[in-house]
């Protein structure tokens, strides 16, 4: 999924930031597909170096890993130093050297095999970059937490959090967890939780309000109430909301339980336990919901790698006189990394870049699709010509979708990028019909409605890892579908007598979404304006 960010940056560089990206979801708003920071950085670097966007994206991720490791060294050391300087903190879990623990955590993060397999296999570039930079967010919030709740601390915390959300909104849960966990582990022993709640609400609310000036409030409505996977019908929106809330229930129970149980642990140890327990619980919860959806329940691999790196630093640098089982801890850590690299090397074909891309099933399939589309369009595809009115769209599903984004970005498809970016209501209903329906007439009606001319169906024996079609045999019963090819369990059909491509969806909600966000941001900060103005006036000695 790394190429998705590169493709969007290349399009923005060519066509500008505003409007609709025409090739995915019958037209999707650019502001729904990505934040402005990563594409902006890639465009600037491209104009300075003239390197391809995909190459720049890879270098951006590698730089993010290095910068993230440095931030982890600093954050771990700072968290331990604050715990050592506080007499109120218990001594279970304190280390002899904060710097040593930080360096070990940074090195352990860099050599973690699960990190690299996640980054090179299924990580989306902007999301991965935001996660890699989380230690720096923790460092900023750690310096603000022990300060009184004022306008300046609220403003600084809100701006920093908004920058992370502007990288990618997928980081929102991680950002909230960093904020909540740091406030919990750094709170003094008084029972008054109001200052802590004030900081959490102020930083997160302010950050979301500021980021909404780009995304618009309508984006959050889209994110919460519109299902992002599977193309479910409109009636499932309420169920999707309850499912989202259900995912947060075990997370809340884990945070509450560990907070109560871990009172004897030091602040660094409590942070690591809460962090790992949260993301491992979320992963297990998703695994139990759908074990076959591997990309879903393994999506928090980078966050878990950060927690394991911090735990490794704490364990190895732990004071020997306080831990009699130190050799056992060393052996467990060694076996974890050794076993991880053994598994990663054994299954390297699933995550390492392909040496011969042309020999892969995905490349050969998409090349065949592209040649068919090229013949239909009657002229060569170029970056400045959009053949949206010449040929119909492709409907591809499964992992081919993400490869299609990278290898054929200038061909319109029904999916692509992030499902939550789709604002056309027909898209979701059509997806559901294609995957679940047993009625040929209903399927062909939706094919015409969405302007589809090519459809790739994965049969039961397909090498495609995601078999999305419940009844693939139905497509062979449709007279208007012409079987073009059959290869490796996949069936490529062309629609005869296509109805043509419907017009690209327009984003009518952009202006009021940003306007409403501006109003909410103003209301959010209204209570602070009087204090802010009076403070400025006092500084200028005008009052």
- Distance (Å, rounded) from C-alpha 62 to C-alpha 55? 11
- Distance (Å, rounded) from C-alpha 509 to C-alpha 217? 10
Using CA atoms, how far residue 71 sits from 57, 78, 126, 491, in Å, is 20, 10, 18, 49
Is the pTM here over 0.85, yes or no?
no
Using CA atoms, how far residue 497 sits from 26, 112, 391, 430, 494, in Å, is 20, 54, 12, 19, 10
Close Cβ partners of 304 (under 8 Å, ≥ 6 residues apart): 114, 276, 279, 280, 283
All domains of the chain, ordered by start, with CATH? 52-350 (no CATH), 357-495 (3.40.50)
Each of the 543 residues of the chain gets a pLDDT tens digit; together they read 667 888 889 889 988 887 788 888 878 888 888 889 999 999 999 999 998 888 888 899 889 999 999 999 999 888 888 776 655 444 444 455 778 888 889 999 998 887 887 777 667 888 899 999 999 999 998 888 878 777 888 888 899 999 999 998 888 888 888 888 888 777 654 455 556 677 788 888 889 989 988 888 888 877 776 644 444 433 344 455 445 555 555 556 655 665 555 566 777 888 888 888 888 888 887 777 666 666 667 778 888 889 999 988 887 776 554 555 566 667 777 888 888 788 777 766 655 655 455 656 667 777 777 776 666 654 444 333 334 445 668 888 877 776 777 677 777 888 877 777 777 777 778 888 888 888 999 999 888 888 888 888 888 888 776 777 888 889 988 888 988 878 778 888 888 877 665 656 666 555 555 555 555 555 555 445 445 445 554 555 444
Residues 255, 279: contact at Cβ < 8 Å? no
């Amino acid at each position: 999924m790394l190429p998705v960010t590169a493709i969007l940056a290349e399009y923005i560089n060519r066509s500008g930031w505003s409007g609709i990206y025409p090739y995915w979801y019958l037209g999707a708003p650019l502001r729904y597909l990505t934040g402005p920071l990563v594409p902006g950085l890639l465009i600037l670097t491209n104009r300075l170096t003239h390197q391809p966007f995909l190459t720049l994206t890879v270098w951006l991720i590698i730089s993010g890993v290095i910068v993230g490791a440095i931030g982890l060294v600093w954050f771990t050391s700072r968290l331990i130093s604050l715990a050592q300087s506080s007499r109120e903190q218990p001594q279970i879990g304190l280390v002899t050297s904060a710097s040593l623990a930080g360096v070990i955590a940074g090195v352990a993060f860099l050599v973690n095999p699960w990190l690299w397999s996640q980054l090179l296999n299924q990580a989306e570039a902007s999301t991965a970059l935001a996660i890699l930079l989380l230690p720096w967010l923790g460092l900023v919030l750690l310096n603000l937490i022990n300060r009184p709740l004022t306008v300046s601390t609220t403003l600084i915390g809100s701006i920093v959090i908004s920058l992370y959300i502007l990288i990618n909104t997928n980081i929102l849960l991680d950002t909230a967890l960093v904020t909540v966990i740091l406030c919990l582990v750094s709170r003094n022993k008084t029972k008054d939780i109001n200052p802590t709640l004030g900081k959490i609400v102020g930083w997160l609310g302010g950050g979301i309000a500021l980021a909404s000036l780009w995304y618009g409030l309508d984006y959050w409505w889209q994110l919460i109430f519109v299902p992002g996977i599977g193309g479910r019908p409109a009636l499932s929106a309420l169920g999707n909301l309850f499912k989202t809330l259900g995912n947060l229930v075990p997370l809340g129970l884990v945070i509450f339980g560990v907070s109560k149980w871990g009172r004897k642990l030091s602040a660094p140890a409590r942070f690591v336990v809460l962090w790992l327990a949260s993301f491992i619980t979320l992963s297990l919860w998703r695994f139990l919901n759908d074990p076959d959806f591997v990309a879903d329940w393994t999506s928090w691999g980078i966050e878990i790698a950060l927690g394991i790196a911090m735990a490794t630093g704490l364990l190895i640098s732990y004071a020997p006189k306080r831990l009699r089982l130190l050799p056992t801890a060393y052996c467990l850590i060694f076996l974890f990394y050794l076993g991880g690299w053994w598994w990663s090397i054994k299954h390297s074909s699933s995550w390492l870049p392909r040496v011969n891309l042309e020999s892969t099933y995905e490349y050969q399939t998409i090349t065949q699709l592209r040649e068919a589309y090229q013949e239909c369009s009657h002229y060569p595809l170029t970056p400045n010509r959009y053949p949206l009115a010449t040929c119909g769209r492709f409907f591809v599903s499964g992992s081919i979708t993400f490869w299609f984004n990278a290898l054929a970005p200038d061909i319109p498809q029904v999916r692509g990028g992030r499902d939550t970016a789709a604002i056309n209501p027909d898209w979701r209903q059509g997806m559901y019909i294609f995957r679940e329906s047993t009625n040929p007439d209903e399927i062909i009606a939706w094919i015409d409605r969405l302007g589809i001319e090519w459809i790739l169906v994965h049969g039961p024996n397909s090498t495609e890892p995601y078999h999305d079609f419940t009844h693939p045999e139905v497509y062979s019963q449709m007279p208007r579908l012409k079987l073009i090819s059959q290869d490796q369990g996949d069936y490529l059909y062309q629609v005869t007598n296509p109805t043509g491509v419907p017009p690209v969806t327009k984003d009518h909600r952009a202006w009021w979404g940003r306007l409403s966000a501006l109003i909410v941001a103003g209301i959010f900060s209204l209570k602070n304006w009087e204090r802010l103005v009076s403070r400025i006036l006092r500084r200028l000695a005008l009052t």
